Amino acid sequence: MPGFFPNNNHRLPVFKSMLVIGPHHASAPIHLALSYAAEHPNSSPLILSSSRTSFKEDLVALNDGWISSTSRQGNMMEALSRVNLLYPPTPLHLSMLLSTVRCLGPKDVEASPSVLNPKTMLASSPGLIILHEPSLYFADHDEFSSHTLSTYMSLVTRTFAALDSLAEKRSPFQPSFALFDSGLPDLKLPLVGIKVLPSERYIPRPPNARKLEPVLPYIEKYFEWVCCFESPSEEEETVPSSQGEEEVGEDQPRSVRQFKLYRVSEELDEPHHITWEQATRPSLDQNRPTTHFRVYR
């Protein structure tokens, strides 16, 4: 199964659904989609991100060296061409997209191009759908907002439904859904909504007029696997380059990080802890240093 890092440095277990929380590296969804596309030549993985601006800025800030170089070569370039990225700006847009997206069928070949929407018509089954940072939809939530806990839950259930409808019936591989949301552990939403007239918006209300509930405990139950990226320590460790798999240069900054992986249905089992290293090194063809990864086995 594909993973979060280049060159299959760490392979995830086969999963139908996985929840990824915590401060994951910005390129993790890209590596997952690319490695899945490389292993499944007939698939077209679909990434649905809540913010084009945030996604792009985070990738530029990370400057993943593998994506900048190796992903443009050979089979990876072909796999990259099959990865679809869409940016529905609101929960409503995302819900509409998930309810209308479908795969190109025999009857669609003869249809007029004006009828086929390129954003909702996929050339082949995605196989993998990645929902990226939906908590950003609720970043400006206030007491007058109509968003509730069920709003977030409906995005998850609609994604599951879309994945099942897009799955190839004869494919031996089960479709997969990965939800990346670094803000989910801190997200709280009300259980029920309230209707507020425009004239009532400025009437003072009690501090706890709407009780907010943590969203994570409700969402976690939908998923088979949970991957929790832990925050890096404040002090970065400097590791001699001879210990790495790549030559990154002596005394280059390397932060040692960790994530844990566990099954939701097996809470009593010990989670798998994976330690990985994020290093930067000067780039010969770029003005900014590039980021490289190494996973300890």
Domain covering 6-199+206-295: architecture: 3-Layer(aba) Sandwich (3.40)
pLDDT digits (tens, 9 = 90+) for 94-150: 999 999 888 776 555 555 555 567 777 777 788 999 999 999 999 876 655 678 999
Residue-level pLDDT at 246: 44
Q: Minimal CA–CA distance to 225: which of 253, 263, 198?
A: 263
Q: Minimal CA–CA distance to 254: which of 236, 281, 230, 266?
A: 236
User: In sequence order, which ranges of the chain are alpha helices (DSSP H)?
Assistant: 28-39, 52-62, 65-68, 74-81, 91-100, 149-166, 216-220
Residue-level pLDDT at 124: 79
pLDDT digits (tens, 9 = 90+) for 184-224: 999 999 987 665 555 555 445 555 556 889 999 999 999 99
Residue boundaries of the structural domains of the chain: 6-199+206-295
Per-residue confidence at 33, pLDDT binned at 50, 70, 90?
Answer: very high
Residue-level pLDDT at 224: 94
